[in-house]
Amino acid sequence: MRLLPFAMLALVATSAHADDKRTVLDGVVVTPDGKPLPSARVAGTLEWNDSASTFIVDHLEPDGSWKLELTPSGSRLKSIRVTAWALGYSNAVEVRTVPRGAKGYKPVRLAMRPTISLEVTVVDGANAPVPTATVTIAHDSFSTEHPLKGKPQHVDRAGKVVFAGLNDQDTIDLEVTALGYLDLRLSSIALVKPLVIPIERGAMFFGRLVDRDTGKPIADCKLLTYRGDLKTDAAGNFQMLAPYGAAMVVPACEHYGTDWDLAPGGSISTYDVQDGANVHVIKVRRIRPVEVHVVDARKRPIAGATIQRVFAPKNPYQPMFVKHGPPTEDATTDAKGVAVFGESMMDEFELVVEGAAGRHVKLADVQGPITLELGRRP
């Protein structure tokens, strides 16, 4: 087993008869009870005064001892980081030391620990086993290699599967799949026993994204969901596996958005998916910039005026608005008395500028620039 958690280059052989080499590090690899472990391999990093390199010691003596020998060079070896691995054992803790001959040097003793096993049980929402499930150690989850990484393992009738040979110092990512259930990925799982993983039943959700005002489909629109990102096709259609009961979809394409009032936390739409054959039409509105002109009583533009746009929610009693108040945006007029608010999800809002009449605006009614007259009061 030569796979390591970092790229390595075997720099030296460990022959004791090479006259042009000198020992820079030596030590022993043992089991937890102190017995020699000659099947181990030693690896590490050499830290020079101006660079770093890596090494592997492939051969250990029957008593578990080993040496690292190098040809002397002009570079100064400052320190060494070293660890070991062996089949059936977890990686030894990495040790930092100085080269042989330096002050404080002593041979390195690397103690290995036997690997452990992790029992995983997959259950549904009622805590019943899911015997159709597979569990996979994700490819990018492991700091050390494992022969089952990336290979789905089927659970037994009790919903159980056991992963043996795990490094007890690692964490792993697990991917769980089962027909009729939502795929699940768990990250950075500590290797504790046993591990029970509940998975959620799902159904196919079919949707169509359309313009709220025109009814036309919106093609090639990015959709954010808690199951990942999607895109609509040329007819505005999309589909995804969603939980029974609800699907959350957030349109995130240019010029379109959803109303802030639709759900707690912002633009999230929730739809019933009990009827998997039904196509749910999601209506979103087109958003656009709003241009505001500020003038005085003689219709002359006023530069440097600060305008505030305050969202006017349809339901001001939602907790998000009661606690924090409605969202606001500020803009300042330029030399021509013009300020532009960018695209926003404010369907209705108040425009306020000090010394001028406020204006309640419905975005759907806006056909051009909005003028606010300084000094004019309602």
- CATH 2.60.40.1120 maps onto the chain at 22-114, 116-198, 203-286, 290-373
Nearest Cα neighbor of 217 from 235, 191, 193 is 235
**Which one has a higher pLDDT value, 217 or 358?**
217
Question: Residue type for 164, please?
Answer: A
Q: Provide the pairing of β-strand 184-190 with 171-177.
A: antiparallel
Provide the percentage of residues in the chain whose pLDDT is more than 90.
38
pLDDT score of 196: 96
170-228 confidence digits (pLDDT tens): 788 999 999 888 889 998 888 877 899 999 888 788 889 988 778 899 999 988 887 77
* Mean of per-residue pLDDT scores for the chain: 82
Q: Which two tokens stand for residue 271?
A: 């739809």
Q: Is the pLDDT reported for residue 327 higher than 90?
A: no
**Which one has a higher pLDDT value, 318 or 290?**
290
Q: Is the pLDDT reported for residue 22 higher than 60?
A: yes
pLDDT score of 27: 96
pLDDT score of 163: 92
Q: Which two tokens stand for residue 195?
A: 């591990």
Q: Which two tokens stand for residue 264?
A: 């707690």
Q: Which of 103-117, 221-235, 253-267 has the lowest mean pLDDT?
A: 253-267
Confidence class for position 317, pLDDT limits 50, 70, 90: low
pLDDT score of 59: 92
**Which one has a higher pLDDT value, 118 or 11?**
118
Taking the domain 203-286, which CATH number applies?
A: 2.60.40.1120
**Which one has a higher pLDDT value, 259 or 299?**
299
pLDDT score of 378: 46
Report how far Cα 41 is from the mean position of its chain's Cα atoms.
34
- Do 113 and 40 meet the contact criterion of CB atoms below 8 Å apart? no
pLDDT score of 178: 92
Q: Which CATH architecture has domain 116-198?
A: Sandwich (2.60)
Q: Which of 17-31, 120-134, 252-266 has the lowest mean pLDDT?
A: 252-266
Q: Is the pLDDT reported for residue 373 higher than 60?
A: yes
**Which one has a higher pLDDT value, 258 or 2?**
258
Burial class (CB in 10 A: 0-12, 13-18, 19+), 250: buried
Q: Provide the pairing of β-strand 22-30 with 108-111.
A: parallel
Question: How many angstroms separate the CA atoms of 279 and 205, rounded?
Answer: 8
Q: Which of 128-132, 273-277, 344-348 has the lowest mean pLDDT?
A: 273-277
Q: Which of 70-74, 134-138, 179-183, 329-333 has the lowest mean pLDDT?
A: 70-74
Q: Which residues of 110-147 are buried (b: 16+ CB within 10 A; e: fewer)?
A: bbbeebbebebbbbbeeeebbeebbbbbeeebbebebe
pLDDT score of 275: 64
Task: Please check whether the domain covering 290-373 is classified as CATH 3.40.630.30.
Answer: no
- Do 348 and 361 meet the contact criterion of CB atoms below 8 Å apart? yes
Question: How many angstroms separate the CA atoms of 222 and 232, rounded?
Answer: 7
**Taking residues 348-354, what's their average pLDDT?**
84
Bond preceding residue 194 cis, omega within 30 of 0: yes
Confidence class for position 142, pLDDT limits 50, 70, 90: low
Report how far Cα 58 is from the mean position of its chain's Cα atoms.
37
Q: What is the 3-state secondary structure (H, E, C) of the chain?
A: CCCCCCCCCCCCCCCCCCCCCEEEEEEEEECCCCCECCCCEEEEEEEECCCEEEEEECCCCCCCEEEEEECCCCCCEEEEEEEEEECCEECCCCEEECCCCCCCCCCEEEECEECEEEEEEEECCCCCECCCCEEEECCCCCCCCCCCECCCEECCCCCEEEEEEECCCCEEEEEEECCCECCEEEEEEECCCCEEEECCEEEEEEEEEEECCCCCECCCCEEEECCEEEECCCCCEEEEEEECCCEEEEECCCCEECCCCCECCECCEEECCCCCCCEEEEEEEECCCEEEEEECCCCCECCCCEEEEEECCCCCCCHHHHHHCCCEEEEECCCCCEEEECCCCCCEEEEEECCECCEEEEHHHCCCCEEEEECCCC
- Do 157 and 179 meet the contact criterion of CB atoms below 8 Å apart? no
pLDDT score of 344: 67
156-168 confidence digits (pLDDT tens): 999 999 999 888 7
Best CATH choice for the domain 22-114 from the list 3.90.1530.30, 2.60.40.1120, 3.40.50.10260, 2.40.110.10: 2.60.40.1120
Q: Which two tokens stand for residue 154?
A: 């089927």
Question: How many angstroms separate the CA atoms of 49 and 46, rounded?
Answer: 10
pLDDT score of 31: 93
